[in-house]
Structure 1
Amino acid sequence: MNSTNSIDPRVMKELLQLQMLSKMSLLSGDDTKSSSTDEANDFSELLQTVMGQASGSAAGTALTSQDAMSSLLGGASMTSVPSSLAALGKAYTPLQTPGKSFSTTSQYENIIQQASAKYGLDSSLVKAVIQQESSFNHQAVSSAGAKGLMQLMDGTGSGFGVTNPFDPQQNVDAGTHFLSNLVKKYNGNEGVALAAYNAGPGRIDRLGIRTDQDLADKLHLLPQETQAYVSKVFTHKRNFSL
């Protein structure tokens, strides 16, 4: 029974499934991160023993909050991040690593390309918004009731003809149309458009924010969620543009 060569393939399959479950558990809050990391490390050691391959890498280790924030900001030092963003970053663990290799993006590629061309937006920007809003989960529903890939509120969706917000084509078409209108409203200032997409154009207008420079000057007046949202979406956009 000590021979690793006698391992049942079905057992190996179960171990790999447990690894996936262990990684999924890392998405929970800081209270469970320590135990989840321990479980992931235990699994790595077990798998290395079974395969007879000792490795120094800790593939199952959870990202620290600074690792996550650094990744989202394109590798920028935490000391260069505004304090409001850094504070929010401490509680943020990305659902997926930003990049161009998401396995979930390919199934929506045609939809995104069509909507982007139709409404005159960079497809990388649309993908970045989808990544930040729903992590490409077309069935996502927020606590506020926003739905689908681009997290449309019912009122916004119906205004753009959406009858089923969970239908990827309807959702992406409407969300891209809405985002395009915001980019035009703010004369191509994408940062302001993204802030309006997250916080609502009414709040942006009341603060007199019209340009990206206005946004930088008054960013501290916006909710922390919105402050971080703009930076994260731009980081996703850069990664999708690579």
Structure 2
Amino acid sequence: MNQALNNSSSVDSQANKKDFEIMLARAMLEKADLNSVLNYGTLTSPNNCSLNRSVTVDRLPFEQTAQAENNIKPDCVKATSDLAVPQEYLPSDKRYDSLIVVAAGKYKINPALLKGLIKAESDFDEAARSRAGALGLTQLMPSTARSLGVNPLKPEEAIEGGAKYLSQMLNRYNGDQALALAAYNAGPGNVDKYGGIPPFRETIHYVKKVTQNADNYSSDFGNPVT
């Protein structure tokens, strides 16, 4: 759906402008009927995410190259063709979708699988720290993060690093999703040692959990889990 917002009215106050942006973002992310939202009129993006263009509306899924093409700041989520919405306006499980799509597209992995991994690893908490020392959204160990060239406590880099590492594991195990997830959790050394998913309760549960999460999130990106 590509529909320019009518110029018949405008949002005067900052409060109303923010209300509009929140409604529009949530409507887009939830694939809701946008008619009531469109009646609000014309506005531009908030200054900290401004694209300085007229607002148009797009349905999900997000364009894979949205951020790269439009130079949207990492702390802004592309909810429409011309409107970037600050992350804090969105529910935690929707906050990183545009970054997930960009990273998944770059490394040719399923965005639903990457999102399912993030849910299992950190529950979308960008400051998460495990007792073992893993950090950030994708719970990278500091040594792994260094090898990937990312800062795991920066959401964009954490997602980039997690996508890259998951892609490496998928390539290592010839696209076998279960083995790749097991390697992400327990390390490829253990997968190689046991010739399959290691017999660790945590790892067995992890593979099942991420796979189920990915299935639950597949509709967020308009594609089936593969």
Query: TM-score of the superposition, structure 1-length normalised?
Result: 0.52
Quick check: 2:116–2:214 contact (8 Å CA) kept in 1? yes
Q: Identity percentage over the alignment? A: 41
* Residue aligning to 1:241: 218
Conserved in 1, the CA contact under 8 Å of 2:129 and 2:135?
yes
SS at match of 1:130: helix
Give the C-alpha shift of residue 109 in structure 1: 1.3
In the TM superposition, 1:185-196 aligns within 5 A as 185-196=172-183
For residues 138 and 199 of structure 2, what CA distance do their matches in structure 1 show?
Answer: 21
Residue 150 of structure 1 is matched in structure 2 by 138
Map of 1:132 onto structure 2: 120
Q: SS in structure 2 opposite 1:106?
A: coil
SS state of the match for residue 96, structure 2?
Answer: helix
What one-letter code is carried by the residue in structure 2 that aligns with 1:120?
K
Structure 1 residue 223: Cα displacement: 1.2
Question: 1:103: Cα distance to partner?
Answer: 1.7
Q: In the alignment, what sits opposite 1:205? A: 192
Mapped contact 2:182–2:206 kept (Cα < 8 A): yes
Between the two proteins, the alignment pairs up a number of residues equal to 130
Q: Which letter maps to 2:159?
A: V
Larger Rg: 1
2:95 is paired with a residue whose SS is helix
Q: What letter corresponds to residue 104 of structure 1 in structure 2? A: S
Q: Work out the CA distance in 2 between the residues paired with 1:120 and 1:190.
A: 13
Which runs of structure 2 are paired with 1:101-180 in the superposition (5 Å)?
103-162=91-150, 164-180=151-167
For residues 160-195 of structure 1, give each alpha carbon's deviation from its aligned partner in whole angstroms, at most 9, with x where no partner exists: 111x32100111001100000100110010000000
- Secondary structure of 1:150's counterpart equals coil
Shift of 1:107: 2.1
**How far is the alpha carbon of 1:241 from its aligned partner?**
1.1
- 1:73 is aligned to none
Question: Residue by residue, what CA displacement relative to the aligned partner does 1:132-162 show, whole Å, maximum 9, x if unpaired?
Answer: 0000000000000000000000010000111
Larger helix proportion of the pair = 1
Task: Give 3-state SS (helix, strand or coil) of 2:183's partner.
Answer: helix
For the residue of structure 2 that corresponds to 1:196, the secondary structure is: helix
Letter in 2 for 1:233: V
CA distance in 2, matches of 1:177, 1:113: 13
Relative to its length, the structure with more strand (as a share) is: 2
User: Which residue of the other structure, out of 195, 203, 209, is the alignment partner of 1:232?
Assistant: 209
Following TM superposition, where does structure 1 have runs of at least 4 consecutive aligned residues deviating by more than 6 angstroms?
Answer: none
SS in structure 1 at match of 2:152: coil
Shift of 1:105: 2.8
TM-score (norm 2): 0.56
The aligned amino acid for 2:94 is S
Q: Which amino acid in the other structure matches residue 187 of structure 1?
A: N
Aligned to 1:182: 169
Give 1:117 shift.
0.1
CA offset at residue 126 of structure 1?
0.3
**How far apart in 1 are the matches of 2:209 and 2:144?**
23
Q: Distance in 2 between matches of 1:107 and 1:239?
A: 16
